[in-house]
Structure 1
Amino acid sequence: MPGRYKASGLSVALSELGLSPHNTVGVGDAENDSALLNLCECGVAVANALPMLKEIADFVTKGDRGAGVIELIDHLVASDLSALQA
C-alpha cells in the first residue's frame, strides 16, 4: 500500500505490544529499509544490501539474502548480539 512503510508498521506493532524500539533488531537490503534500521536499536544489513544501507547499519552480515538472515539469527541465539556492544 502506498504510504505504508516497514518502520511505521513496526512502530504500531511495538506500541500495541508495549515494547520499545530498543527491544528490536531490523534487517534489510534496500533503500526502503533505511527508516526501519534507523528505528531499531540494532540495524542489520545483509551482504547484498545497497552500500548506503550498509553505511547506516550496526552490523553487516557475511551472507546475503536468506543466508544473511540465518547468520543474524545464529548470532542472536548464540550471544544476543553481545559482540556488537562496545
Structure 2
Amino acid sequence: MGLDLQVILNKDAVMVMPSGINKASGLSVALSELGLSPHNTVGVGDAENDRALLNLCECGVAVANALPMLKEVADFVTKGDRGAGVIELIDQMLASDLSEFSP
C-alpha cells in the first residue's frame, strides 16, 4: 500500500505506527508547546515502546516488572511493579525531587 509505517514490539503485542512517531516524539511536541526542556521531565515505563521516552527524559525510570533491556537504559528501577512502581516514583519525587539521582 506504500504506507510509511514502522512495527514496534511492546511485550507480547505488536504496534504499527507512522514512521518517526513514538512516545518520545509526542513528548517532544508537548514540551515544545509548554516551553519546557526534556531536562524537566521524568519518564517511566516497562516495555520496548518506552525506550525512546526514557532516553529523552532527564530521568528515565523502569518499574520492577520492566523488560531487562529497559532496565538497562533506566536511571533507576523501582522496587514495585506496575502501578505500585509508579506510586513509589511519585512518593520519591514528592519527598526529595529525586535529588538522590542527580547526574
Confirm or deny a common fold (TM above 0.5): yes
- Bigger helix fraction: 1
Q: Does residue 1:82 correspond to 2:77, yes or no?
A: no
* Higher RCO structure (Cα 8 Å, ≥6 apart): 1
Unaligned residue ranges in structure 1 (runs of 5+): none
Cα distance between partner residues in 2 of 1:15 and 1:55: 28
Q: CA RMSD in A?
A: 1.1
Question: Which residue, out of 61, 66, 83, partners 1:44?
Answer: 61
**TM-score normalised over the length of structure 1:** 0.96
- Residue 10 of structure 2 corresponds to residue 16 of structure 1: no
Deviating above 6 A after TM superposition, structure 1's stretches of 4 or more consecutive aligned residues are: none
- TM normalised by structure 2 equals 0.80
- Indicate whether 1:2 and 2:17 are aligned: yes
Inter-partner Cα distance in structure 2 for 1:26 and 1:82: 16
Give CA-to-partner distance per residue, 1:42-82, whole Å, 9 cap, x none.
00000000000000000100000000000000000000001
Counterpart CA distance in 1 for 2:43 and 2:53 is: 6
Q: 1 or 2, which has the higher strand percentage?
A: 2
- Match of 2:10? none
Structure 2 gap segments, 5+ residues each: 1-15
